[in-house]
Amino acid sequence: MSEESGKTVYRSHNYPVYAVLFLLLLVVVGLIFFGVISFAFADVGFSPWMIIVILAATLLGSFIIIPLVKLKTSVQVVREEFVDSFGVTYRIPRFQQGCAVTTLAVNVGGALIPTAVSIYLLSKAPFTIMLYCLVGVAVVAFITRLVARPVKGVGIVTPALIPPITAAVTTIVLAPSSAFVIAYVSGSLAR
């Protein structure tokens, strides 16, 4: 969190995390050029340059948050007053009604780009793979819903590895021959 012009701005990650992700992007780009990862993307029609564009857009898009709507709710706020009497300080709580504002927003790199890639993959997939993806999305969404918890001031949080591990296991059970498409779509659309 940081203070800018009297408003609190919440940053989901700090800069060292982005530096590590950028270095990871460079390693992945290197692996793509050496052919270690490109065979998985080539099976679904992505060129090595398109893979780089998608990864870079996802990383840079993670800085862009599009606010959709502001939700206002009435909450009880405790204001504290302090009174000194004969050298003793007493805390007196005062209860007041306040207004809390929650901004519902969409992250470009975390929601819009993965959704667009998933739609592209689904448009190229045969009908049976689409059905497997639908089942995968349902399973991952169900498991993610079980472990998700609301955190005041942050939003709804889930353990970071639960959705991708669930997507991977579901993919292996459903159709290991089309693992990339089902795992990507299930992991992207269900969380």
Q: Please, which residues bridge with residue 67 across strands?
A: 105
Tell me whether residue 19 is in a domain: no
Judgement on whether residues 82 and 142 belong to the same structural domain of the protein = no
Domain housing 95: 70-102
Tell me whether residue 76 is in a domain: yes
**Contact, 177 vs 161, CB < 8 A?**
no
Around Cβ 3, how many Cβ atoms within 10 Å? 8
Tell me whether residue 4 is in a domain: no
Judgement on whether residues 132 and 189 belong to the same structural domain of the protein = yes
Query: How many structural domains comprise the chain?
Result: 2
The percent of residues above 90 in pLDDT, for the chain, comes to 32
> For 73-119, what is each residue's pLDDT tens digit?
887 777 888 888 777 888 888 888 888 788 888 999 989 999 999 99
Residue 142's identity, in one-letter code, is F
Judgement on whether residues 129 and 179 belong to the same structural domain of the protein = yes
Judgement on whether residues 142 and 180 belong to the same structural domain of the protein = yes
Tell me whether residue 48 is in a domain: no
**Contact, 79 vs 93, CB < 8 A?**
yes
Judgement on whether residues 93 and 129 belong to the same structural domain of the protein = no
Tell me whether residue 120 is in a domain: no
Neighbour-count burial of 61, counting CB atoms closer than 10 A to its CB (0-12 exposed, 13-18 middle, 19+ buried): middle
pTM score > 0.85 for this model?
no
What's the pLDDT at 108? 93
Tell me whether residue 78 is in a domain: yes
